[in-house]
Amino acid sequence: MRRFAETYSPPVLQKYLECVKFLENNAIQIQELTKQIEVFEDQCFVIVQHGAAQMGQMEMEELFPQTIVSKVSWTHHMILMDKTSSCAEKFWYLLNTLEHGISRNVLALQIESGLYKRQVKAQKISNFSDTLPAPQTDFAMNMLKDPYIFDFVQAKGKADERDIERQLTEHITKFLLELGQGFAFVGKQVHFEIGGKDFFLDLLFYHIKLHAYVVVELKTDEFEPGDAGQLNFYINLVSDKLKAANDNDTIGILLCKGKSKVLAEYALKSIKQPIGVSDYQLSKAIPAELRSQLPDIDELENELITQ
């Protein structure tokens, strides 16, 4: 409890409250707010003592219930205090937990997999800012991770794309959990016949919040410029054949085993369709003790079906 009080001192609570109110009234990337909190945190050694002296017990009792800190369970806070090191990281996980109803076991899993670093801190490669309107750009950037971790895929030697794809779709619930909230699975190896030739895109999703189809192409090698062109072709097919009048622009995500940032940026420069490029990992990144606490995959799939 003493550690809890030190972690969420009055100035930190006040800063959290300001940030949440700012998010409610402004369209801003969450990355910008976490940067602001990091700057604030660097000054905390001065602010905390001054703020604690200025704020009385009654003021503190009025402030605490208004903040996101009061909205999650004590066990969530134990995990956050044990496994995260900064105010900015805690703030993001608190927001994510409240928005998506994250359980304490899944929260521990997300922290162990470095979700904050992969989704917020990573320098993501995309052309979203050039191809999507402002509100969609922010949301699409927040959605993208780098790298994605498919630790449930058993890769022996040089796994081929079809084998990885098969395992991803066999464990579709885990795959969707890693992709993030809002993804609905449409199909794999989706067939199109164009100009008398057959084409098959790897994986197709629909994102409920973006109101857009998302084409995912999987590569077992490092990124090559031609990969972006192929994905651009598939995006055009989906937009022409499947996209409805009320759907937003189709988005592409290219998952590859390594990439050159410069090479990827040049490849995306002249492409007019929104594409993000990310790495993925098949290594076992999640500790066994955490894995045993998660629901069985069949239970998760049955729950999705019944809902």
User: Is residue 302 a part of any domain in this protein?
Assistant: no
Is residue 134 located within the same domain as residue 37?
Answer: no
Is residue 134 located within the same domain as residue 282?
Answer: yes
For 236, the token pair is 């055009």
Reported in sequence order, the residue ranges of the chain that DSSP labels E, i.e. its strands, are: 125-126, 148-149, 183-194, 197-207, 212-218, 251-256, 275-281
Q: For residue 42, which of 87, 9, 3, 94 has the smallest C-alpha distance?
A: 87
Total domains in the chain come to 2
CATH number of the domain within which 199 lies: 3.40.1350.10
| Residue ranges of the chain whose pLDDT lies below 70 | 25-33, 36, 39-58, 152-160, 283-307
Whole-number Å distance between alpha carbons of 118 and 208 = 22
Angle at 240 between CA 236 and CA 245, to 5 degrees: 120
Query: pLDDT value at position 180?
Result: 86
| 8 Å CB contact between 161 and 219 | yes
Domain boundary among 94, 120, 146: 120
Query: pLDDT value at position 59?
Result: 72
Angle at 167 between CA 162 and CA 168, to 5 degrees: 95
Query: pLDDT value at position 290?
Result: 41
Query: pLDDT value at position 24?
Result: 75
Is residue 33 located within the same domain as residue 151?
Answer: no
CA 235 to chain centre: 21
Is residue 175 located within the same domain as residue 252?
Answer: yes
Is residue 136 located within the same domain as residue 116?
Answer: no
User: Is residue 24 a part of any domain in this protein?
Assistant: yes
Segment (H or E) for 40:
helix 30-42
Is residue 56 located within the same domain as residue 184?
Answer: no
Query: pLDDT value at position 18?
Result: 85
Query: pLDDT value at position 289?
Result: 45
Domain of residue 254 covers 124-288
Q: What is the dihedral of CA 251, 254, 255, 257, to 10 degrees?
A: -160
Q: For residue 40, which of 69, 10, 61, 77 has the smallest C-alpha distance?
A: 10
- Per-position DSSP letters for 129-163, written without gaps between them: HHHS-HHHHHHHHHH--SSEE-TTS---SS--HHH
Whole-number Å distance between alpha carbons of 150 and 285 = 9
Is residue 138 located within the same domain as residue 100?
Answer: no
For 207, the token pair is 């994102």
**Rg from Cα positions in the chain:** 21
Q: For residue 16, which of 122, 7, 141 has the smallest C-alpha distance?
A: 7
Query: pLDDT value at position 147?
Result: 87
**For the packed helices 74-83 and 87-100, what is the interaxial angle rounded to 10 degrees?**
140
Is residue 84 located within the same domain as residue 161?
Answer: no
Whole-number Å distance between alpha carbons of 112 and 82 = 11
Is residue 50 located within the same domain as residue 100?
Answer: yes
